[in-house]
Structure 1
Amino acid sequence: MKHYGIFLAYAPTVDLRNQGLGRYLAAFLKGAADRDDLHFVLVCPSWSGKELQALLASEGVPRDRYEIRSPGQKPIVLRGFEAYQAYQKRPRKKPLRQRLIDWSHQTRVAAMRRIEERLAQAYSFSALLPLLLGLVIL
C-alpha cells in the first residue's frame, strides 16, 4: 500500500467549504478511494482539522482512505483572537437613557390599552366614574 502525505495551510478564518482547492482535494480523494492500494495522510494546522473533516464527510470521501493529523490545540494567540471576535459580536445592551424611554413608552401603551378595554366594557356612565377619577389623578 502506498501512503501519500498532503499538507494544507489555510488561514484560521478561511472556510474550506468555500475554497476551490479544498473542494478539489475532496474530489481527488473521493476518486482515489476506489483504489485499494492508496492511503492519504492529510497534515494541517490545528484550526483546520475539524473543518477539513466536515468538508470530506460532506463530499462523501470514505473515512478509511485518509487520516488527518494536526496539533491538539489552537495557538494561544488564535484563541485570544477568537475570544476578541466573540466579544465584538456579542449582543449590545441599550444605554440607560434608551431603556428608560422604551420603558415609559411601554408603560403608556399598556395604560392606554387598559383604559380602552375599560371604556369598551362600560355599560353605563356610573361604570365610567372610577375610570374618569383615575384619569384625573394621572
Structure 2
Amino acid sequence: MYAGNYNHQSGQYRNGYTASRRLHVAYIPYDKVIGLSKINRLVQYYAKRPQVQERLTMQISSAMKEALRHNDVGVVIEADHLCVASRGIKDTNSRTVTASYSGQFEDQAIKQEFLSHIHDTNIIYNGAH
C-alpha cells in the first residue's frame, strides 16, 4: 500500500470563505506506481476549485482510479472550514472529515491499515508524541 498526505489551503468556497485541508490518498500499486508529484498535481487540480468537500473527495478518488486503471483507492479529507470559525457558531475547533473507499479498501483490515497511517501522520502534524 502507498499512503501519502497532502496539505492544501483552498481558494474561496461559494460562500467566500476558505478551508485548510489535509488530504490522505492511498492505493495498492500492483504493476503501476504513480509518482508522488502526479498525485500532488491531481490533488491540486481538483482542490483549487470552489466546491463542497464531499465532491472533492469523490473527484480525487475517481481520478486516481482512472490513472491506476483499478479501483483499489482510499481518500480521506480533513478540513477546517473558516466559515464555521468566523461566522455563525464561531466554532474554531471543529473539523469535517470525508472519505471514499473502493476496491480492496472496502475490506476492514486494509481500511484500518490506511487509517493507522493517517493517525500516525496526525500525531506528527499536531506535534504530539
Shorter-chain TM-score range: under 0.3
TM, length-normalised to structure 2: 0.26
More contact order relative to length (CA 8 Å, sep ≥ 6): 2
Greater Cα radius of gyration, structure 1 or 2:
1
TM, length-normalised to structure 1: 0.25
Q: Which has the larger strand fraction?
A: 2
Q: Which has the larger helix fraction?
A: 1
